Every structure is written in structure tokens, then in C-alpha cells.
Amino acid sequence: MAKGGAPQRIASGWAVLTEKGATLQFKLAALGIEYSEATRFEAWLDCLDSFDGSPVMLLEFDKKPIPAGNLARTFDLRHVVVCGPKGMEVFDWTAAPDPATGTRSHKVMWRLKDERAKAVGADPSIAASAR
């Protein structure tokens, strides 16, 4: 424990777990964890943008625990897994989401990536083709 106090339970938020460590939104009284004020979609997008082929877990928390059967790692951008208490979202980050059947996370992060590209003056179609 980084500081004293009663045990804490993560109520809601997100996490990115890699071989190098963990980044969480919810601040715990624990050592060795990085914290971020980013939204879950911003944090997951940053993770996917810097993906180097090392396994990563993208987690979404709410008041219910995540069942062990809903935990999986991402090893390839063509099969990204977002884990949560209600299930797993699986999508191909190298392709645009299907407007009718794409997952919510995929659509939101794809839109956010295009917004970031526009903000720096890049053509979103070039950014999309580079994925």
C-alpha cells in the first residue's frame, strides 16, 4: 500500500495493463501504478497507437467485477479486445468500424483518431490508411 487506509474497490474507470506496468484512471493506495486523467477511449487509443506487439489488456470497470471469462489480452491490432463486466468487445483496429455492426469502443476511438489527425493538420484519410 502506498498510503494507509481501508481496502479500496474500483468502482468505475479503466485500466491499461502491459508487461511494463499498469495505468489506471482510478487512484488506488498502491505502489507501482501510473495514473491518468484521460478518458478510457483516449487511454486505449494512446495504447493502440503505440502498440509494439507486446500483449496488452484494455479494461473497463464499473461496480460489478469483471468475470475471469471476460479477460483476454490483445496480441495483434487485427484482434483488439476490450474487457469489461458485461463482456468483451473485439474488433480489427487496422480497418474502419462498420457503421451498423462495429463496436462502440472501435467507433469512438476511430473518430477520436480522426479528430486528432485533423487537429494537427493531417488528412484523416492518410491517418486511416496508415493504420
Q: Write out the three cell numbers for 47.
A: 495504447
Q: Is 100 exposed, middle or buried (0-12, 13-18, 19+ CB in 10 A)?
A: exposed
What integer pLDDT is reported at residue 44 of this predicted model? 97
Separation between Cα atoms, residue 75 and residue 116, nearest integer Å = 25
Decide if 55 is inside a domain: yes
pLDDT of residue 6: 58
In a domain, 8, yes or no: no
Asked whether residue 103 is assigned to any structural domain, the reply reads yes
23: confidence class by pLDDT, cuts 50, 70, 90: very high
Q: Print the domain residue range for 121.
A: 13-129
> Distance between CA atoms of 125 and 131, rounded to whole angstroms?
10
The DSSP H or E segment spanning 57 is: strand 56-61
Across 60-71, average pLDDT: 91
Q: Whole-structure pTM over 0.75, yes or no?
A: yes
Query: Which amino acid would we find at residue 47?
Result: C
pLDDT of 71-130, one tens digit each?
999 999 999 999 999 999 999 999 999 999 999 999 999 999 999 999 988 665 554 544
Cell numbers standing for residue 110: 476511430
Number of domains into which the chain is organized: 1
Assess if residue 76 is contained within a domain: yes
Domain-embedded: residue 89 = yes
Residue 6 lies inside a defined structural domain of this protein: no
Q: Is residue 37 part of a domain?
A: yes
Residue 5 in any domain: the answer is no
Task: Name residue, grid cell 469502443.
Answer: 105
